[in-house]
Amino acid sequence: MHLSELTHPNQLHGLSIYQLQQVARQIREKHLQTVAAIGGHLGPGLGVVELTLALYQTLDLDRDKVTWDVGHQAYPHKLITGRYARFHTLRQKDGIAGYLKRCESKFDHFGAGHASTSISSALGMALARDMKGENYKVVAVIGDGALTGGMALEAINHAGHLPKTNLLVVLNDNEMSISPNVGAIPRYLNKMRLSPPVQFISENLEEQFKHLPFVGESLAPEIERVKEGMKRLAVPKVGAVFEELGFTYVGPIDGHNLQELLTTFQQAHKHPGPVLVHVVTTKGKGYEIAEKDQVGYHAQSPFNLVTGKAAPSSKPKPPGYSKVFGDTLTKIAENDRRVIGITAAMATGTGLDILQKKLPDQYIDVGIAEQHAVTLAAGLACEGMRPVATIYSTFLQRAFDQIVHDVCIQNLPVFFCLDRAGIVGADGPTHQGMYDIAYLRCIPNMVLMAPKDEAELQRMIVTGIEHTGPIAMRYPRGNGYGAPLMEEGWETLPIGKGEILRNGDDVLLVGYGSMVYPSMQVAEILSEHGIQATVINARFAKPLDTELILPLAQKIGRVVTLEEGCLMGGFGSAIAESLLDAEIAVPLTRIGIPDILVDHATPDESKAALGLTPPQMAERILKLFSKQLSTVNV
């Protein structure tokens, strides 16, 4: 069977091991060719090809449910569920999503972009099944990196308390999330992985006893005690911890041996109650370059399949915000032992890998556990340290209560650095950093700031570390503007003070963060039409520089706010509230992200679709002017 003929996963039923191996080879070929051409996640999907095929051959996907965690593992799943023909559109505008989406396919049973959600969602489905008196299988496939998240452990705790609820959890154990996993749980899995499997002993012990002379069926209770004793003796050779939590544990098994996988899944489906199958896989399997560099090939921009090297850039680019952040923080930390960088399993993405290499004693990776990261930072701050919690905007959402309860109520000096704020591109709605301004602005004691460029980022890092209370800085994905950087000697910025970048009497443009430079471009376009703009770099969304903004708003009479975040509750809302409170009644236009989900596309494509390019924003302002002028003339 050719992969292109697979439009429904039930077509795997009845295929031989040899035929499944051929399908596996084709999946890897298509996966590699596609990601090499257009970019995307590479290592995770390559590692679960056999796991996916074996699991799906034992399921009826017209009825049974499978949740994946995290969704970037599910490229093989997409290729065998009717999306082969469109797979070349992966992560592109109007194309196949890089994660699971319920609206994309009936086989995407639960949307999965963030980690540690699969067991909770699968348990919910299993409970709904039982409540409705239905009968189908529910499976959660969870990467071992996601098992470091507290939510997964909460779900395991709950599921283990429900011995009559049939649920299969497949632990895909490859020792990695994006970077190598950290913590006691991955260490425990590693012990099991390196120990000889003894599951077959306890499985077959009773049958062997039956064949002993004069024993037969008479020792059943004693046999059960012996089996349990052998499991204790074999720790950590079997998953005693999982068994104590109420799961039937099977494994570890070879995640690339189709026959072993098929046999294991078939047996696991027969066990009543919650079952955990521990599958050991190799991230990047089948592509030697990715197997050797599992961190570097977790995800890739377009690259050469033969050499593994990324396509050369047409021209040199300024350094990325993450790198500038990592370099600057490391230099500050060298001179200040109080500075502690904290990441939630995203060292490379946030630039904290630079700090990790240079000052490992001032670096903490908590795993995929944002809630713990924030409260850990609060504890550090209580004892005089200066914790820098560096977490993507989309992931900090997961720790909202901890920000309120553990940091802001106690007014502790925790510095939140929100990478990937704004439009992030091909990862789509689950990863867009749209909401941080709104969800942080409402919390007492919190200060919010955003740099206009990478040089101002450096000054804000010093400002955040020196501040004596909670403070957050948002900055975008990608490269800076090429602003001159300093190696040392950065000065703090006065809290709540912006700056004027351009003067004009016709309209006041107030830009925040990544929208400041576009505001300057908008002002240039307006000047070509005879409209002169004052441009303010707000720097702070909270507290606002009302001493600067309000008099200019009243004097000029027309205000436009520009932000790369949600309009509802965002920076423009802060300006609107300030004008209302000061009883300044002037026309206000807010430009930003409307109340919609922004789908996957390149950032430039998304901005164009949202009307956020400088020419589009200038055109909107010009139309407002013409409308206001015509109203005055009438």
334 among known catalytic residues: no
Residue 613, phi then psi, degrees to nearest 5: -80, 150
Residue 560 near residue 509 (C-beta atoms within 8 A): yes
Q: Mark residue 377 as left, alpha or beta (left: phi above 0; alpha: psi -120 to 50; beta: remaining).
A: alpha
Question: CA 351, CA 364: separation in Å to the nearest integer?
Answer: 13
Question: CA 110, CA 108: separation in Å to the nearest integer?
Answer: 6
398 among known catalytic residues: yes
CA–CA distances in Å: residue 143 to residues 232, 243, 253, 369: 26, 19, 15, 14
Which amino acid makes up residue 427? D
Point out the catalytic residue in the list 65, 83, 129, 370. Answer: 370
Q: Mark residue 353 as left, alpha or beta (left: phi above 0; alpha: psi -120 to 50; beta: remaining).
A: alpha
For the four alpha carbons of 137, 398, 172 and 302, in that order, the dihedral sign comes to: positive
Residue 252 near residue 192 (C-beta atoms within 8 A): yes
Point out the catalytic residue in the list 137, 283, 477, 590. Answer: 283
Reduced to 3 states (helix: H, G, I; strand: E, B; else coil), residue 451 is: coil
Question: CA 491, CA 488: separation in Å to the nearest integer?
Answer: 9
Tokens 């390196």 belong to: 194
Reduced to 3 states (helix: H, G, I; strand: E, B; else coil), residue 202 is: helix
Residue 263, phi then psi, degrees to nearest 5: -60, -45
Point out the catalytic residue in the list 65, 101, 285, 398. Answer: 398
DSSP state of 405: I
Question: CA 289, CA 286: separation in Å to the nearest integer?
Answer: 9
25 among known catalytic residues: no
Reduced to 3 states (helix: H, G, I; strand: E, B; else coil), residue 520 is: helix
Three-state SS annotation for 60-96 = CCCCCEEEEECHHHHHHHHHCCCCCCCHHHCCCCCCC
User: What are 309's two structure tokens?
Assistant: 């090297």
User: What are 292's two structure tokens?
Assistant: 């050797």
Residue 610 near residue 593 (C-beta atoms within 8 A): yes
Q: Of the candidates 445, 535, 525, 431, which has an alpha carbon nearest to the alpha carbon of residue 476?
A: 431
Gyration radius of the chain over CA positions: 28
Residues paired with 542 in a beta bridge? 448
Residue 101, phi then psi, degrees to nearest 5: -140, 125
Catalytic residues: 283, 370, 398
